[in-house]
Amino acid sequence: MTDLSTLSTRRGPFVSAGVWLLLICLLALWAATVDPRVGFAQAHNPAAGAGVHAAARSKQERSDIARFGERVQAALALTGNDKAYWGLVISDAETGEVLFSLNAGRYFMPASNAKLFTTAMALATLGPDFHIRTTIESAAEPDSSGHLQGDVVLVGRGDANLSNRVIPFVEHPEHNGPPEKALADLADQVVAAGVKEISGDVVADDSYFAPERYPPGWGIDDAVWSYGAAVSALAINDNFISVDLRPGATIGAPLVYSAAPWPGIYEMRNDTLTTAAGTEPMLRLERDPDSQTFHLTGTLPLDAPARQLQLAVSQPAENAAAILMQLLEARGVRIEGRSRARHGDRNARPQTPSTMHVLAEHKSPALLEDVRLTNKLSMNLHAELLLRVAAREKAGATTMDDALAFAAQFRQSIGVAPDDVQLTDGSGLSRGDLVTPQSVVQLLAYALRQPWGPDFVATLPVAGQDGTLENRMRGTAAAGQIHAKTGLVEHVDSLSGYATSRRGAHLLFSIFGNNTGTKMRDAANVVDSICVAMVEELASHAENRAAPPAKDRGPAPSNQAQRQISR
């Protein structure tokens, strides 16, 4: 049972394109002079993973790092946060020098920071302009009377945007038309191809991937909601159903609900009541794993605004087939058969498909636009599909194990140590995921050196402006200066990405908080305060070369923070 009473449902430039092109050139020159297995500044020893910060011995004279360290120590010492486990790495994007490090080589649960590895891999292996085809096919063509002998088959290949979402994403998510709009467009093409009658079934084929709907480490509760929707090569409306709930007309009346897209293969049991205005809402949802029944109970006051629930679809291909059959029948197509799914075999290798006649085709947006959605809005299903599509297209992988092996090989190819990253999914929802802060910063540096590097930076949320950072760091020095991926699951808060300081420093950073026993907002405030301190304090490499050395200030404050936190 899930308590619903607590549920709720400007992109600014990082730096100019010219500056980033210069940075990419500098990074490329720097990369040629270092061991790629080290990743950042050879003086930084990953084996010193307890987190001795890189500036402790060689950069004690830098007053900007000392001030920053004091502010970090103060933030982490706040009541509640002092019991959490924290990791932090900040690197100079121009030189690769590690400026500050805390528990850099230790494992942390990354939450959605894992999407950085997935989206960078997708761009590197598939390319920003890659497109995915979704087709409706048949063994025969319709005859002159419009009769089609046999089945019509909806073939999915991992497009995450078979919905009504407006693309490209700009500042805020937008939608146009019904949630099944992309599938309706395909149905229109079938009718335009002359089909009036189908003697067989409407089949949804998701055999492009093996039938493994939930990655290891996902929880049972995750599968109820849209953020934990089942993974399939067919994903209609992100594999969830939107249920809008409104109070009834009178006290004691059941709540009024509407659901879309509604495939007709599920049952909604509505045992809710409308209560007097001003009373506390008490909505609950019950759903057993793989059950076809959603059971709503509880109350909503007469004066309450509408509530929306996004309920995950547990059988995506069956869902897609049922919706397509509805759409075809609504367009006057007579169907003699039924809707059904066709799944792959986990133990079989991909087979060369037989020749089929294509009745309709949908082409996905460019992959870069899906990466933007995935990172800006932290779309779990999209990340899972990016992982599987890349592995399927480039290595013929159909199983999750093979996809994860493909991703691990990619990380090794860019110099990330194999034992620095242990991922069991593509999105970070798995509680079995572990990464080190230094591996994330190494990935960020790699991405920045690629031709698509500036585009990758632009896919990340901007502090105080858009995506999952829209309402964070507003009105601070960090607003508009942080492009970073958020990560949030219970007792985990993470943020990794790129920053530009007030003093002209271009920075790569990764911040992790695990075992955060305080309220989620408290942990996020710590992360945000570290970002503000980073933007306000840290100076550029050029400024520090020109500045005279400061007097010895004693042991670096972040060493003190290290001793307090890494016990």
Q: pLDDT > 90: what percent of the chain?
A: 79
Q: Are 303 and 275 in contact (CB under 8 A)?
A: no
Higher pLDDT, 215 or 41: 215
Phi then psi for 312, rounded to 5 degrees?
-70, 145
- The yes-or-no verdict on residue 99 having pLDDT over 80 is yes
pLDDT in tens, 108-119: 999 999 999 999
- The yes-or-no verdict on residue 556 having pLDDT over 70 is no
- Average of pLDDT values for 533-550? 81
Q: Name the residues annotated as catalytic.
A: 112, 115, 378
The winner for highest mean pLDDT among 19-33, 119-133, 541-555 is: 119-133
Phi then psi for 274, rounded to 5 degrees?
-90, 130
261: cis peptide before it, omega within 30°? yes
Q: What is the pLDDT of residue 352?
A: 60
Q: Give domain 20-41+55-110+432-565's CATH number out of 3.50.50.60, 2.60.40.2310, 3.30.499.10, 3.40.710.10.
A: 3.40.710.10
Q: What is the pLDDT of residue 345?
A: 83
Q: Are 476 and 529 in contact (CB under 8 A)?
A: no
Range of lowest pLDDT (47-61, 274-288, 441-455): 47-61
Q: What is the pLDDT of residue 56?
A: 39
Residue ranges with strand state E in 465-517: 482-489, 492-500, 506-514
Q: Are 168 and 194 in contact (CB under 8 A)?
A: no
Q: What is the pLDDT of residue 288?
A: 87
Q: What is the pLDDT of residue 495?
A: 98
Mean pLDDT (the chain) is 87
pLDDT in tens, 461-476: 999 999 999 999 999 9
- The yes-or-no verdict on residue 268 having pLDDT over 50 is yes
The winner for highest mean pLDDT among 61-75, 80-94, 106-120 is: 106-120
Give residue 28's Cα distance to chain centre: 28
Q: What is the pLDDT of residue 290?
A: 84
- The yes-or-no verdict on residue 33 having pLDDT over 60 is no
pLDDT band at 350 (very low <50, low <70, confident <90, very high): low
pLDDT in tens, 372-395: 999 999 999 999 999 999 999 999
Tell me the sheet residues that pair with 510.
Answer: 89, 496
Count of CB atoms situated within 10 Å of the CB of 158: 26
Q: What is the pLDDT of residue 518?
A: 66
Q: What CA dihedral angle connects 200, 202, 208 and 212, to 10 degrees?
A: -120
- The yes-or-no verdict on residue 76 having pLDDT over 50 is yes
pLDDT in tens, 182-239: 999 999 999 999 999 999 999 999 999 999 999 999 998 899 999 999 999 999 999 9
Cβ contacts of 450 within 8 Å, gap of 6 or more: 24, 123, 124, 456
- The yes-or-no verdict on residue 319 having pLDDT over 90 is yes
pLDDT band at 320 (very low <50, low <70, confident <90, very high): very high
CATH no., domain 133-365: 3.50.80.20
- The yes-or-no verdict on residue 554 having pLDDT over 50 is no
- The yes-or-no verdict on residue 310 having pLDDT over 80 is yes
Q: What is the pLDDT of residue 542?
A: 82
Owner of token pair 């520090």: 544
Q: pLDDT > 70: what percent of the chain?
A: 84
Q: What is the pLDDT of residue 259?
A: 96
Q: Which helix (H) or strand (E) holds 381?
A: helix 380-395
Q: Whole-angstrom distance between the N-terminal and C-terminal Cα of the chain?
A: 38
- The yes-or-no verdict on residue 322 having pLDDT over 90 is yes
What whole-number distance in Å separates Cα of residue 340 and Cα of residue 203? 5
- Average of pLDDT values for 89-114? 97
438: three-class secondary structure by DSSP: helix
- Average of pLDDT values for 277-287? 93
Count of CB atoms situated within 10 Å of the CB of 564: 13
pLDDT band at 544 (very low <50, low <70, confident <90, very high): confident
3-state helix, strand, coil in the chain (%, to 5): 35, 25, 45
pLDDT in tens, 496-531: 999 999 999 999 999 999 999 767 788 999 999 999
pLDDT band at 555 (very low <50, low <70, confident <90, very high): very low
Range of lowest pLDDT (116-130, 334-348, 395-409, 480-494): 334-348
DSSP 167-194: SS-BSB--B-S-TTHHHHHHHHHHHHTT
DSSP count for the chain of H helices, then E strands:
14, 24
What whole-number distance in Å separates Cα of residue 307 and Cα of residue 9? 8
Higher pLDDT, 103 or 6: 103
pLDDT in tens, 415-431: 999 999 999 999 999 99
Q: Give the domain ranges of the chain.
A: 20-41+55-110+432-565, 133-365
What whole-number distance in Å separates Cα of residue 50 and Cα of residue 105? 6
List b or e across 249-273, with b for residues whose CB sees 16 or more CB atoms inside 10 angstroms.
Answer: eeeeeebbbebebbbeebeeeeebb
